[in-house]
């Protein structure tokens, strides 16, 4: 069985939480796009884990994890991440972590170039809200054929690989020196860096596509883990305020390395309210006063897992969520952080957008979304602690009504509802897995 877990909105919806739960019954968890700009937070009996590159399944001893073909991999960051979770008792070996030989390496200069350009743009007020981790530049060089893939680390003695290294280094030194006045990197330093990465990760690199294909043929359960959400997709998101890869479920098998396979299920993850990290249109933050937004941010601990930046917050946005749900083609919906709304006397939600006299319920990312204002309706709050609820029936009537309203606005049933950060703080409604 092949299941993709995707974000419906701007990212940070709580996908890591859902994947951690699904991983209890899965055999393999695969990251299929993005890089260490991801930030999945999972709370277990061993503590709180913030994972950037490692799939959330790494916290389960019997689950194999894969960094797939469609990823860009910062190997220095990966090494640090492995060290951090090892300190909390999680072992990472070539048996439970496999790196695709087709995945793109985030080279030493990509992060530097990202930081320099974002600083330059910030001076003009044109910054994109980058995570400054070099993701866009790694993907750019992938399509310009000016970077290495992980499999190249296994063949550093090959004259063809060394020739490519020299060619890309020359081009990058011209860029960084000419545009940003940076000191050039030497070929010997670059080769030494590559040799170090090969020594550290050579045993982990393999043809993960063939390995996954074999796993599926023997009936293994595979979960594909997306980074960010539909609004940050390079094609369908709020361009140019997007990621540099496809966050859409349909790309999952391609990015995983099994393009001939079809998804059996797609889980779309939503928060019970709206959050956003990074720049770009975000109608939800215009829906309520600043004091209300600050209180919600603090109540939900809304600070980026990868960046630490305060997330932009607002009420649930049904207009944007319907669009994201259509993009992801989800057959299951997980709603996270319902408990964060428990203190509210009234719970607002966005039902439409207004521009002048024109009202719309359609989200169009090609429009100037900053010109629209959200139309808000409110429902009675429940003002009760729901963190101990383990069945839908135990929820207060007001919480049930809120969920029913979301289902009506989305035209889709919600099957999974989280009521706290711990693994056991959730309930199932309807048919799950």
Task: List the domains of the chain with CATH numbers.
Answer: 2-102+205-267 (3.40.440.10), 104-202 (1.10.300.10), 270-428 (3.90.170.10)
Is pLDDT of 417 > 80? yes
Q: Which residue has the tokens 């083609």?
A: 329
CB of 277 within 8 A of CB of 311? yes
Taking CA atoms, 159 is separated from 163, 164, 199, 348, in Å, by: 6, 9, 19, 62
Taking CA atoms, 355 is separated from 321, 358, 369, 374, in Å, by: 19, 5, 9, 9
pLDDT band of residue 307 (cuts 50, 70, 90) is: low
Q: What is the mean pLDDT of residues 45-70?
A: 90
CB of 164 within 8 A of CB of 58? no
Confidence (pLDDT) at 106: 95
pLDDT band of residue 308 (cuts 50, 70, 90) is: confident
Phi and psi based region of residue 15 (left: phi greater than 0; alpha: psi -120 to 50; beta: remaining): alpha
Query: In angstroms, rounded to a whole number, what is the distance separating the alpha carbons of residues 19 and 60?
Result: 11
Bridge-based pairing of strands 312-314 and 274-276 is antiparallel
Bridge-based pairing of strands 47-51 and 40-44 is antiparallel
For 383-413, the pLDDT digits (tens) are: 999 999 999 999 999 999 999 999 999 999 9
Residue 430 is classified by DSSP as S
CB of 328 within 8 A of CB of 249? yes
pTM score:
0.92
Has 40 been annotated as catalytic?
Answer: yes
H or E element at residue 17:
helix 15-22
- Token digits for 294? 């600050």
Is pLDDT of 45 > 80? no
- Give the rounded percent of residues in the chain with a pLDDT score beyond 90: 76
Query: In angstroms, rounded to a whole number, what is the distance separating the alpha carbons of residues 389 and 118?
Result: 45
Written as one string, the DSSP assignment of 277-298 is -SSS--GGGGSS-HHHHHHHHH
Has 412 been annotated as catalytic?
Answer: no
**315 CB-near residues (< 8 Å, 6+ apart):** 273, 274, 284, 287, 288, 347, 348, 349, 350, 374, 376
Q: What is the mean pLDDT of residues 356-376?
A: 94
Is pLDDT of 131 > 80? no
CB of 230 within 8 A of CB of 6? yes
Query: In angstroms, rounded to a whole number, what is the distance separating the alpha carbons of residues 52 and 55?
Result: 8
H or E element at residue 51:
strand 47-51
- Cis-peptide into 240, omega within 30 deg: yes
Bridge-based pairing of strands 346-355 and 373-380 is antiparallel
Confidence (pLDDT) at 94: 93
Q: What is the mean pLDDT of residues 259-264?
A: 96
CB of 389 within 8 A of CB of 383? no
Q: Which of 20, 27, 40, 412 is catalytic?
A: 40
Is pLDDT of 423 > 90? no
Q: What is the mean pLDDT of residues 224-245?
A: 94
Residue 254 is classified by DSSP as H
| Per-range mean pLDDT, top range of 121-135, 268-282, 320-334 | 320-334
Q: Which of 156-165, 296-305, 339-348, 400-409 comes out lowest in average pLDDT?
A: 296-305
Query: In angstroms, rounded to a whole number, what is the distance separating the alpha carbons of residues 52 and 36?
Result: 5
Higher pLDDT, 124 or 227: 227
Q: Which of 12, 20, 74, 339 is catalytic?
A: 12
For 136-174, the pLDDT digits (tens) are: 889 999 999 999 999 999 999 999 999 999 999 999 899
Q: Is the dihedral of CA 211, 217, 221, 223 positive or negative?
A: positive
Phi and psi based region of residue 313 (left: phi greater than 0; alpha: psi -120 to 50; beta: remaining): beta
Query: In angstroms, rounded to a whole number, what is the distance separating the alpha carbons of residues 5 and 56?
Result: 11
Confidence (pLDDT) at 252: 97
State the chain's mean pLDDT as an integer.
93
Q: Which of 145-149, 349-353, 413-417 comes out lowest in average pLDDT?
A: 145-149
Confidence (pLDDT) at 1: 94
Confidence (pLDDT) at 224: 97
For 79-106, the pLDDT digits (tens) are: 999 999 999 999 999 999 999 999 999 9
CB of 402 within 8 A of CB of 377? no
- Token digits for 235? 């094609």
Bridge-based pairing of strands 373-380 and 47-51 is unpaired
CA atoms within 13 Å, Cβ hemisphere of 103 = 33
């Amino acid at each position: 069985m092949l299941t993709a877990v995707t974000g419906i909105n701007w990212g940070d919806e709580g996908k890591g939480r859902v994947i951690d739960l699904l991983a209890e019954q899965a055999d393999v968890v695969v990251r299929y796009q993005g890089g260490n700009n991801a930030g999945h937070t999972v709370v277990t009996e061993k503590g709180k884990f913030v994972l950037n590159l490692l799939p959330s399944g790494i916290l389960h001893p019997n689950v194999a994890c894969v960094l797939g073909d469609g990823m860009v991999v910062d190997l220095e960051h990966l090494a640090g991440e492995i060290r951090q979770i090892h300190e909390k008792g999680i072992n990472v070996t070539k048996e439970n972590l496999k790196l695709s030989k087709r995945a793109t390496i985030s080279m030493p200069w990509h992060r530097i170039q990202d930081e320099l350009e974002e600083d330059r743009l910030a001076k003009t007020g044109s910054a994109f809200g980058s995570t400054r981790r070099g993701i866009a530049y790694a993907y750019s060089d992938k399509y310009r054929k000016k970077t290495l893939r992980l499999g190249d680390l296994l063949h550093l003695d090959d004259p063809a690989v060394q020739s490519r290294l020299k060619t890309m280094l020359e081009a990058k030194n011209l860029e960084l020196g000419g545009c940003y006045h940076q000191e050039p990197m030497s070929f010997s330093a670059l080769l030494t860096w590559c040799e170090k990465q090969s020594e550290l990760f050579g045993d982990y690199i393999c043809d993960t596509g063939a390995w996954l294909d074999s796993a599926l043929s023997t009936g293994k359960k595979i979960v594909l883990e997306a980074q960010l959400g539909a609004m940050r997709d390079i094609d369908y998101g709020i361009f140019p305020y997007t990621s540099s890869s496809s966050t859409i479920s349909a790309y999952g098998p391609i990015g995983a390395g099994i393009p001939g396979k079809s998804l059996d299920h797609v889980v779309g993850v939503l928060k019970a309210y709206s959050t956003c990290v990074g720049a770009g249109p975000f109608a939800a933050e215009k829906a309520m006063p600043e004091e209300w937004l600050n209180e919600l941010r603090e109540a939900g601990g809304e600070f980026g897992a990868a960046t630490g930046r305060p997330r932009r917050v607002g009420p649930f946005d049904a207009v944007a969520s319907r669009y994201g749900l259509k993009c992801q083609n989800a057959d299951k919906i997980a709603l996270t952080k319902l408990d964060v709304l428990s203190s509210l006397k009234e719970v607002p939600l966005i039902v439409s957008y207004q521009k002048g006299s024109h009202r719309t319920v359609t989200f169009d990312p090609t429009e100037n979304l900053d010109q629209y204002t959200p139309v808000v309706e409110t429902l009675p709050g429940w003002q009760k602690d729901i963190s101990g609820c383990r069945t839908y029936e135990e929820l207060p009537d007001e919480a049930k009504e809120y969920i029913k309203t979301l289902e009506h606005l989305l035209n889709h049933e919600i099957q999974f509802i989280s009521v706290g950060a711990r693994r056991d703080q959730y309930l199932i409604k309807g048919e799950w897995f």
